[in-house]
Structure formats: structure tokens, C-alpha cells
A and B are shown apart, each in its own frame.
Chain A
Amino acid sequence: MVLLVLGSALIILTATGQETPISLETAKELGRVKSRFLKEAKEVAKASDVVPKANVAFFHESVGPLLKQSCLACHGPQKSKGRLRIDQLNPDLLTGPDVERWREVFNALSKSEMPPKDEPDYALADADRGRIVDWLSGELNTASIIRRNSKEHSSFRRLTNYEYNYALQDLLGLPYALPNKLPPETASEDGFKNSSDLLQMSAMQFETYREIGLKALKRATVSGERPQAVTYVISMQEEMDKAMSGKGTKAAEKGKKKDKKLRNQQQLVHRETGDSIEFSVGKIQPRPKAVAGQTPAVSPVVLVLPRSNEVKLDLDRFLPDEGIMRVRIRAGRSTNKPDEYASLRLILSAHTSNNANFSQVISERDIPITASADNPQFIHFDIPLSDIQRNPFRKLTTAFPRRDEFLHIHNVSNATGGEEPLQVLIDYIEISAPFYEQWPPKTHTDIFIASANKGDEQIYGREVLNRFLKRVWRRPVTTQEVDEFMALFAKYRPGFPTFEDAMVEVLATALASPEFLYLTQRVTTNETKSPARITELELASRLSMFLWASIPDDGLLKLAEQGKLSAPEVLGAQVKRMLADPRSRRFSQNFVEGWLGLDRMNSVTHVSDTALRAAMLEEPIAFFDEVLRRNRSIMDFVHSDYAVVNERLAAHYRIPKVYGPHFRSVSIAPQTNRGGVLTSAAIMTMNSDGKDSNPLKRGVWMLKRILDDPPPPPPPNVPEVDLTNPEILKMTLKERIADHRNKPACISCHARIDPWGIAFENYDALGVFRTSIKNQPVDATSVLFNRQTLAGIDGLKRYLLTDRQDQFARAMVHKLTAYALGRPLSFADRADIDALTAQFRRRDDSLGNLVNLIVSSHIFNSK
């Protein structure tokens, strides 16, 4: 077999002369060889004291004549298509006014969009094209280095809503997010909500910060004696005994017959005797003397909870208003088939009067039951009672409207039927609120620290403030700063019964201070060079916002204070530590949501299956996480021979033998038509119009999100597609698009957009692969503006991997850097991004390496 690389003809000529497309894996290798970034020994851009000069001489000698020959006919005195006069552009890119136009020329030439393929008289030889492109890229880079000193965008910015939430949680040690009613934020052009120029502040927002801050502190701290907990205990042994001793005996005997119908019913079963009885429990009353956290001997009597069944406990009206409700359940699985899972979910409901009811899932996530029935283990849920919908009538002294609250324990499982179905067996349930691991809780003692000076409010107040302010501001604090807050404390103290009550109000003020709400970068006095390096402490914050979307922890702060953080080996070790921390999951989530624009799934109305919707949203994030943690190549985003799915999504993709709700990487065969993120169900679904695919949306998405080459917005007078015209109604979607595109007002943009989207036509409005539409075979073949043919999704992927690796890699570096810096990148950052891309490509395009490169880059360490 002879491997021929003929331009971009992506075929292998076999010995028999048959043409088969090259595999996508081969395309990856081939495309890599073509990389411009790998060929050129690019220098790392550095801010130089010497002002570079424009290379105008080479323009006059070589570039100018070529442009004249190939471009002037359409972009000259006779015609000036696109309002471009190539002969009037100032060749001095460094001081001249035409840098942006030159960049367009550079883009058009480097992507072989110009000169048009159907104008052979003006064709550019590859070598000549290379000469122009090289000159332009060099000049653009130099211009970029000069511009950098102008510092167009600053990374000084307010925290986003999500960062603020995480920061509060991490700062106070709260295990859950507080309800956040801060106004929503908009995403930047790049898709990110952390972009400095978009993060505004208003009086309303400021007031909301004050309110949330105080509320959070009140949650974290306590006063007075440990409150008496309300504790419910449901022991299945006791329930059975009760039932058997009374009139329930009859039912029990009925159960003894081992009625087959009972197999899939909720019931109490004595595992040794086989006795069984229907489980019905009335109002449960709290046990005044019960202490939560008991581990009674395992009982042979269990509650059998089959798949999709739930036990509904009437807790009457005694759950307190606030605090954590801990629900402990001792449970095991009846069978142990590895393909089946069972998990528990909590729901709270009330039925206050006819038709006035509600129910709400209150557990954040389902907890899997993994223990065997013979050796059941405790699982627990912690639910913040003040954040969930409660029955507002629970405190009435009369019985109507009804006051009860019901806790449902629901078995979420993929168990199949059969003789021995998987069921959850529960022998003991304990519900207790308010629940504290210890008293006072750790969240409290982290603020009101242990000290010998507790008796002296002046000294102790300073100690508390010193520690708290340091963590809030992510830097050491001065005595004077503490003094100011002590002065506030002195004003507050008389209005409050205790030291703690007054201090909490003072601390709340710190949580509304600019240095908590903003990422700062101070100007140092000896700044001679611009842009200056950020300080160690600023690096700590930038790093933690990047990888944790939150404030730095004590470890990072300590290293920064000692001036050690920026040392390469220390920094590398810290990045490793941070990525290993569960908080780094926030990075995957927030970056991917912004990068791929997953917000758009929120306005999708045609996915009614909530499990599918959740899985769709999760997949790209889980995929990114997989690539990141295994340090795989980012080319896997274009195509991979594995998919990252859970059972629900695997069923959607028709990938067999994936069981359970968690996401994992599985190998997939080519005929699955999956791999990478481009064809993931979320992307296909959100870029459809509800009923069918939408090639235009998909095309725009590709250009904007993957290639970082967003098309211009549509012109103001776009002619509508006339759906009352019977001729148009007869057309297929692709024909309709072509018809629309061929209108003069539309052609220039649509020719750039549509072909990318049409290549996805094999995926329907839910991202399911199809080969026919309304009994017509799918036509997913399209031709790009540069005459490149894309034969469906494989063709598109093959083309990207063979010819557009550099563009995708650079796009990825651009997006990730914009996210890491929390500001939009400008022309001035170009040299840095190019340099980073070159380094990145040399380091195998591996995502983990990219994170490290960015963190140690010049741009990340500069103001």
C-alpha cells in the first residue's frame, strides 16, 4: 500500500487502485506534519527595549508585486470587492493605520480562500502564497509586540457570580451553595462570563452582596447552647414487630405465601424467616430522647425497595426551620450484578389542600448503594432546610391547610426484572435536624478561633479579624486595616448581646469589600518595564481563579507570602496539586460551558427526558475532564476513538454495555459515529430548531467555538425564507439553504457558514445519527468556500485534522488563555498566543501541558 499525500486529497490509493479515505487517526498524524508552528523556529516573544522597525523593503521587493498580480484586478482601482483596495494599504504594519485590514488579508490568504479557485488567471503559486503569508505573519507579530505595551485590557475585575459563590463556600467551609440572587451575567465574544470588561457593579448588586455575605456568616457561625435536635428513627425490625403483634398478623401470613406479585412491591421482609408484610407507616413522631448517629445491630428485617419505588415518610410538622437535616440510611443491594446499579434520592413534598401541592428533589445528587445486603452500610444526605421549599403551614395551630411534610426515599435504578431483581434493602433510617458534626461546628471555630485571649474582646477581636481579613483579601493585612474594622466593631458592639453577634456583622462588611469582590493587581512603585510582572500573591489568586474558580487556599497563600510560588518547580507542583483537588472540576465545568456555549441548552425545549438532558449537558464537561486528567491531545476534541458517556447517554448513542449514572471513557467502533465533542448530543441539540437540525446554527457554532473565526453578524435586511412559496416547501432542507444562499445578499456569508453545518446533517435534532430524512437518504456533503469538499462528518473531521490543526490548536490556546486571564485577548496578545501555540504543539497538543504552559507563560504572569 502506497501512502500518497496529494495536497488535501485525503485518500489512500490502494494497490488495486480503489480509493478509500484515510483513517481519522492517520489524518491526525498527517495534519501534524503540516503544522506551521512546528516548522518555524519561532522565538518566544519578548517585550524589547529596542523598538522594532517595519520590514517595508521586503514588501516592495517581493510581496507587493505578487499582490499586484493576483489581487489587484478585484481589489484595486477597477473593482474594490469587499471595499478592499490592496494598492492603498500602508505596508508599514507597525505605525501604519491598516493593521486590521492586513489581518483580513492574512486570514484570507492563509486559509486559501483567496484568490478564488475559479479564477485561474490570478492563482497564487504555493511558494508565493507562503512568501506573503510569512511576511505578513512576521509583521503582524512585531506589531503585536509593540502594541502590548499599551495594555488594552486589564485582568482587574469583579468575581463572577459562580466564583463569588465558590469563594464564599471555600472561605466559610460551607458544604453547599447558598441561594444566589445576584443578577445574571453575560458571556463575552469568546463565550466566557469571567471577562473583565463585562463584569459590572450596581447598587442593587452591592446590596445583594451585603445580604448574602451576612446570611452566609450566620450560617457558618452559631451562638448559645447546642440546639436540641429533632430526631426520627425508623427501625424496620420495630415496624415489623408492631405489625405482627397487632392486627397486622393476617397480612404477614399472607406474605408468607411468598406471593410472586409481592416481588416488585415495597414491603417489609424478614430475611431469615421469609415473613413479609406490606409496609405502611403513619405519621412518624420524633423521638425526644434519640441521639443521632447510632449504629444498631443489623436487623434481619428490611424494607425492600424495588426499582422506581419510594418510601414516603410523613414527618408531621416538626422539622426545624433552619440547619442541616441529616438523613442516614443503612442499605444494601439484594443482588450484585455489576451491570446494575441502584441509588437513592430524596424528595420533599406537601399536600396542603386539594390541588395545592408541591414536591421537590432535595438531594443534590443520587447516592449509589454499593454494599451487599448481608453487610449493609450507612449512606447519608445533608440537606440545608432553609434553602428548600417547605410547607408554609407547618406552624399552624389548626389542622387545615394540612401541615405535614413528607420525605420520600426513592430508588433510582436500572434494575431489570427477572427472578431476582436488584432491590435496595433498608433496615434503619434516621433523620435528624439541626445536625452538627461537632459543637461548635468547625465553620464556627474557623472564624472564632481558639485563643487564650477570648476573654479580652479587644485583643481577641483583632485576632479574629486578622485571620479572617487575610483570607478574605488573599494577602497579609496591616495593623491599621485591622484598626479600622475594630473601630466599626466598637460602634456595633452596644447594639448586640454577644461579641460574636456584633463581630459577624463586622465580618459581613469585609465580605462586601472591594478586595474580596475584585481580583486586584496593584501598581508597584518600581515599575519600569511594562507590562510588569504580577506579584506572588496576585499569582496565587489568578491561579486559584483559573483552576478552582475560587480564592486561594492557605497553602497557596503561604507559598506566595514566602515568595516561592512562581519558582517553576513549585508552580508545577502546585498546578498538579490543584488539578488533583476536587475543586478543579469547577474549571472543567465553567471553561467548557463558556467555550462550547452550553448555556444555549437552557433554551432548548424539545428534550423532555430530564435524565437525558442532564447527561447531554454533562458529556462535554466529562469529556474535557478526561482529556485534561489523562493529558491527552486536544485533537481528541475533534475526533477520538472513545466516548465519555453514562448509561442514559450510551443508550441514546446506541453504545452497548454501559451501566450506571456515572460518566466514564469507553472505546467505540467507527460505526457508532461518535468521538470528540463536535457531534455530542448537546451540541447537536442546542444547534437545532426544535424539530430538525439547523445547519446554519451548527456552521456558526463551528466557526465561532472550534475555529475561533466567528462570522460577521447577519446584515440588517436579511430576506426571510418564504415558506408560503410552494416551490420552496417542496425542497429539502439542504436545497432550501442553498436557495437562500444563492441570493446575492446572503451568498458571501453563507458560503462560509453553511458547508460546515451541512456536514452534520447525519445528526438529528437530538444528535441521533440517521441515514435518511423522510425516506430520503441524508445528503451531508458540502463544499467549503475554498472548494474543499466535506463528505459528511467524517469528511469534516478529516479535513480539520489534516489541514486545520494549527487553527484549532491556536483557537484552543486563545480560548483557554482568555479564560485563564479573565479578560478578552486583543491584537496585542497575538505574539504571546502564537508563541504559546508553538510551544504547545511541540508538547504534543496535550491539554494538561497547555495548562502548565499558560500558567508559566509571560502573559499569565503579567499585569
Chain B
Amino acid sequence: MNDKSIQLSRRTFLRGSGVALALPWLETFAAIGKSKDETPKRFVSIYHPDGVGLPLKSDPAWKDWSWFPRGGEKDFELTKVLDVLEPLRGDITIYSGLSHPAARRVHGHSNADQYLTGAPIGGEGPYQNTISLDQVYAEHAGDFTRHSSLVMSTNGGVGGPRGAQTQSFNREGRPIPAMNKPKQIFDLLFVTNGKDAAERLARSKSALDLLIDNTRSLGRQLSKQDQQTLKQYLDAVRDTELKLAKAQKWIDTPIPQVDTRNLHLEAEPKEARLFFQTMYELIYLAFLSDSTRVATFQLGRENGEGPHDLLSLAVGLGGAHGLTHEVKKPGGWQNLGTYNRYQAEAFGRFVQRLKDTPEPNGKGSMLDNTLAMHGSASSSFHLSRNYPIISAGGRNLGFTNGRYLKFGKGNEDNQAGAGIASDAGWTSKMEVEELPLAKLFVTILQRLGVERDSFGGHTGTLARV
């Protein structure tokens, strides 16, 4: 399925692909005339479906295979699931007690759509999503780079309503197709010649010239007052011209040369280790070359099935989704924990790479100027609450790491919903208090330099972060 699943012609691909070209029309709405700022600020979000292991305290597996750390903010202790991140302890923050209020009663099979949007998509009927966190930032920063954002997933495309295969949604709430083939991503980032784009640009320029002439000749026949009104139109056309000039600039700018040693462009999800390494490396190279400052990457899909669900082959286990259903079988918690551990390890390797690379155009390491988020919209089985989230880096943006931050009330030991393995769990009444994840999003946006005090209807930042 992986090869044939999403059949996009190259043309369609260029027009609507995950790498949103900084070209007209409407791929990016970033303001005109912003100067390229000194040090890039970057954001990347990794999403993994199926949640994490959350056994009951009474379960022997609790000690080793419960995802959340134990202990306090500074003196927290990682279980076997996350101990691979111990060397990066000072560079990460782990969160608990956060979720999207609109998602708390949504089935875990449907909640990947909401992770970065928080939209009230409901469980059935008509479907409407809203803009995702990464795209809010892309609207702000997309203008600095050749590509406004990089949208990737293992399955590619958009998926279905309530079965997203992309983490990114545009201003109208429409899904942005994710790319899933390393070769395609690489070509778009580092090989594209832009001939089609150049031709389109040239046509647009001619059209704008004609419209400007048209507007001028109309203006001469209007009253002074009406000329002022028409000037708004003229300004709009001129702003568009500036955008074209900027797009032209990217076409004229040589494609960056990158080190391709760590890339395995033909890797497929079932070769999980190679595939993971390559996808992460592509994000790293895109950031390093400042081709984009925004990326999302979704591993698999909720309720997965088929080859894309086989990332867990990397640790010798089959069917990642199945692992969540089988936690009550012998070794079940350990299996799920082992897979989550592997995800953390891959993320850690990426974080380490950013940490080891000095910022090409600024202070500190690349990690210091990047906020990398890793998480899922489920904790326990199908339960859209208490999202397991790790963030890394961002020191120059104002993030202080080395902490385990617990939010909300009544669930300090993460036992609400623990050990559930049936649908009675996710439909249950919520007995504990959690804070809206959107508040963390507002904090992130503000630190990335976006002037915003609310996200998805929730106002204010998250204290202590």
C-alpha cells in the first residue's frame, strides 16, 4: 500500500503538497516586507498515535512501564519507557495534565485531527477543523524561507475526516497533505528547479501589470474621494507584486547543498529504523539550510492497519495499534512501553543532533533556537485526556528545561484512566481537572514571536512553563 496509497501527480504534488512553496497563491500569507530576522526560530511537532502505556499502580508493570515519570518537577525519575532520554534530561520538559477540552470525549481513533488544532470536531456527522499550531506559526515565519512549512507523515496525504494522516490544517481548517516518501521530500527541498513556478510567476506579473494600468485609468475618472478608496485596491495589487518578487527571489536563489550521508531515500516504513532516521534527518537538513522553520511529522495513523502500522518492527513487535489493545496480555505493557521507548529514542537522537550543531547564523546550538514537541492525543487506551507530551530545546526562546511539569488537579499520580482496555474508559466521566493544551500553544507562539494571546478560543499562557 505504501507505494500506491497516495498517488499524486507531480503537478498536483507541487501545488498542494506538504512543502508549501513560498509561491503564490495563498500558500503563505506571511506579511510583506519583513526582513529576514537574524536567528531563525523553529518549531517542529512529532505526533505518535495510539497513546502510551498507563498501567494501574497495582499492576506489576507500573514500576517500569508507565510512561509518565515519577517524582517532582526537578527530581523526577524516568521509567524504562523514557530512560533513553536521560542523557538529554537537561534539554527536555515532560508535561502531564494537559488536553484539549473539545477532544476529551472523542474516541482515541479520531483524535489525531485535533492534536494541533483543538477544534470541536465531534465524533460523527459534518466535519470542520481549524488552523493548526504549526500553520499559525508558518503564517508568521513562512515568509523568511523558501518553504513556509514541511508537513510529513508515514501514511501521507490527508487521511479522512476523523482519521487524519497529517497534523497540519490551514486557515480554513482544511488538511494540508503530508508527504511520506523521503525521495520526494528530498527532491522538493533540495532538487526542484522551479521552471513551472517561474512560468506561473511571469504570467502573474503580466496580469498584475494589466490590472495596475486598468486601475490607473479608472482612477483618472473618479472623484478625489473615490480615488482614495480605489487606492486600497491598488495597494493590494502592489503588495501582491512584492510577494511575486519575493517568490522570484527564491527561484533565483540556488538550492542549498546538503550532506546526504545519513539519508536513505528509498526507505519505507516497514524498515522503521532507516525510515525514521531519514525522515528526522530531512527535518534536520531543512532546518540547517533554513529551507523552512516549521515542520510536522505524524507517525502512522490512529487505528492503524497495514504496513504503515509496522514501525514497531524496529523493536521486533508487530502492529503498533494492536499493542495498545493487548496491554492486558502477558508482556503487554512491556511491549507497548518498548515501542514508546523506541519512539523516544528516535526523537532523542534528533534532539541530540540539533544540540550538537552550532546555530549557523546565531548564538548557541540549533536546539537552543528550536522548540521540538513530541506527543500524542491519547494517554491510556482510546482516552483523549492527559496527553503525554515532551518538549525539547528552545533555550534562546525562553524555555527552561530539565523539568516535569504537572498541571491540573486530582491526577498527580496519573492514575485517572489508567489500566483501561475497553471503550467504557474513554466515554467515562472526567473526574479530574486538566488544563487546556491550547494554553501551552499560546506560550509557544508567543515565544516564537507571534503576537497572540489565544488559540482555539482559549486565552492566556500556561504558567510555570
Contact = CB atoms under 8 A, between A and B. Distances in A.
Contact of B5 (A203, A398, A488): A398
A829 to B, nearest CB: 16
A553 B363 CA distance: 64
Interface stretch (A33-41, A226-234, A256-264, A346-354): A346-354
Interface stretch (B97-105, B228-236, B434-442): B228-236
Residue in A206, A389, A863 whose Cβ sees the most chain B Cβ within 10 Å: A206
A207 B203 contact: no
Nearest to B229: A156
B109 A392 contact: no
Contact of A154 (B163, B203, B214, B225): B225
A520 B4 contact: no
Nearest to A506: B207
Contact of B25 (A207, A485, A491, A521): A207
A206 B110 contact: no
Interface in A690-739: none
Per DSSP, chain A at the interface is: mixed
Interface string B71-109: 000000000000000000000000000000000000101
B430 interface: no
Contact of B207 (A359, A488, A514): A488
A155 to B, nearest CB: 9
B157 interface: yes
B160 A358 contact: yes
Given A353-B303, A509-B210, A358 B232 contact: no
Given A350-B160, A514-B215, A211 B26 contact: yes
A484 B218 contact: no
A171 B240 CA distance: 26
Nearest to B126: A360
B233 A514 contact: yes
Contacts of B223: 151, 154, 156, 521, 523, 863
Interface stretch (A49-57, A194-202, A367-375, A433-441): A194-202
Interface in B112-134: 123-127
Nearest to A402: B160
A391 B161 CA distance: 8
A352 B1 CA distance: 15
A515 interface: yes
A200 B225 contact: no
Given A203-B240, A391-B160, A397-B1, A355 B303 contact: yes
Interface string A501-525: 0000100010011110110111100
Contact of A392 (B110, B160, B222, B226): B160
A333 to B, nearest CB: 29
Contact of A358 (B124, B214, B225, B239): B124
B243 interface: yes
Given A201-B236, A518-B230, A509 B303 contact: no
A196 B229 contact: yes
Interface in A515-540: 515, 517-518, 520-523
B250 interface: no
Contacts of B253: none
B251 to A, nearest CB: 16
Contacts of B207: 210, 488, 505, 509, 512
Interface residues of A, number: 59
Given A206-B237, A353-B305, A520 B218 contact: yes
A863 B221 CA distance: 13
A206 B236 contact: yes
Contacts of A400: 1, 305-306
A352 B161 CA distance: 9
B236 to A, nearest CB: 4
A397 B306 CA distance: 13
Contacts of A515: 214, 218
B26 A354 contact: no
B309 to A, nearest CB: 10
B211 interface: yes
A357 interface: yes
B236 A203 contact: yes
Contacts of A207: 24-26, 240
B191 interface: no
B302 interface: yes
Nearest to B4: A397
A202 B236 contact: yes
B29 A204 contact: yes
B172 interface: yes
A206 B199 contact: no
Contacts of B306: 398, 400
A205 interface: yes
A125 interface: no
Nearest to A395: B7
Interface string A124-156: 000000000000000000000000000100101
B226 A354 contact: no
Contacts of A358: 124-127, 160-162
A491 B225 contact: no
Nearest to B217: A481
B243 A203 contact: yes
A378 interface: no
A157 interface: yes
B32 interface: yes
Nearest to A495: B199
Interface string A624-645: 0000000000000000000000
A357 B236 contact: no
Nearest to A179: B172
A355 B109 contact: yes
A162 interface: no
A560 to B, nearest CB: 17
Among the interface residues A353, A395, A517, which one has the most CB atoms of the partner chain B within 10 A?
Answer: A353
B187 interface: no
A648 B7 CA distance: 48
A734 B53 CA distance: 56
Contacts of B240: 203, 206-207
Contacts of A401: 159-160, 163, 305
B203 A356 contact: no
B158 interface: yes
A389 B203 contact: no
A204 B171 CA distance: 12
A395 B5 CA distance: 8
A46 interface: no
A455 B300 CA distance: 55
A169 interface: no
Contacts of A653: none
A200 B157 CA distance: 36
Interface in B240-272: 240, 243
A359 to B, nearest CB: 6
Given A202-B236, A356-B302, A491-B206, A514 B214 contact: yes
B213 interface: yes
A395 B156 CA distance: 13
Interface string A804-824: 000000000000000000000
A181 interface: yes
A391 B163 CA distance: 11
Nearest to B221: A522
Given A156-B226, A522-B222, A211 B162 contact: no
21 contacts: A157-B229, A203-B235, A203-B237, A203-B243, A206-B239, A350-B160, A352-B163, A355-B163, A356-B162, A389-B126, A392-B159, A393-B160, A396-B4, A396-B5, A400-B1, A401-B160, A484-B214, A485-B210, A492-B203, A520-B226, A521-B223
Which 6 A-B pairs rank lowest in CB-CB distance, beginning with the nearest? A356-B163, A203-B239, A355-B109, A352-B160, A156-B226, A206-B236
Interface of A: 151, 154, 156-158, 181, 196, 200-208, 210-211, 350, 352-361, 389, 391-393, 395-398, 400-401, 484-485, 487-488, 491-492, 495, 505, 509, 512-515, 517-518, 520-523, 863
Given A158-B233, A181-B172, A206-B239, 8 more contacts: A207-B25, A210-B25, A350-B160, A355-B162, A356-B163, A392-B158, A484-B213, A523-B221
